[in-house]
Amino acid sequence: MTPIEVFEEFVDAINQRDVDHICQLMTEDHLFVDSLGIEFRGRDVMRQGWAAYFSMVPDYAIDVKESIADGQLVVATGLARGTYSPDGQLRPDDGWSTPAAWRAVVDSGCIATWQVYADNEPLRKSLRKYEGEKA
């Protein structure tokens, strides 16, 4: 598969919330960099990370609008969206969408690096709302 095809399959696995398939498409030493620049390394670490994220945002999805590849590097822009769900209920008021970009480095048909650039304020707003209810 070409790097762009690997990228597209990875996005599809994310949109299906298929943690096993996401992990199959990662290198063993996969590097994930979140929008704050915090790095997480390793397929097993990210298996736990994706599972936890999907339990918090069970309908998380990526809508890619444009993507370009240069060798093993793929960069895409679009929207990230989902619904914060601390109790498993999907409430329309807790839904969010934000412009986003992704940078992926593909190595031997797997994603070696996945970096997200997105404003997470819409999700943080929902988190604060529920944390305020607990206080």
* Residues 47-90 pLDDT 10s: 999 999 999 999 999 999 999 999 999 999 999 999 999 888 88
Whether pTM exceeds 0.95: no
Per-residue confidence band for 134, with pLDDT thresholds at 50, 70 and 90: low
* pLDDT computed for residue 123 by the predictor: 76
Do residues 114 and 101 lie in contact, with contact meaning Cβ atoms separated by under 8 Å?
Answer: no
Q: What is the mean pLDDT of the chain?
A: 93
- Residue 68: beta bridge partners? 75
Count the Cβ atoms, other than its own, within 10 Å of residue 16: 11
* pLDDT computed for residue 60 by the predictor: 97
Q: Which domains, and CATH codes, for the chain?
A: 3-134 (3.10.450.50)
Do residues 57 and 94 lie in contact, with contact meaning Cβ atoms separated by under 8 Å?
Answer: no
Closest alpha carbon to 85 in 76, 77, 94, 93:
94
* pLDDT computed for residue 93 by the predictor: 87
Dihedral of the alpha carbons of 75, 56, 26, 35, in degrees to the nearest 10: 40
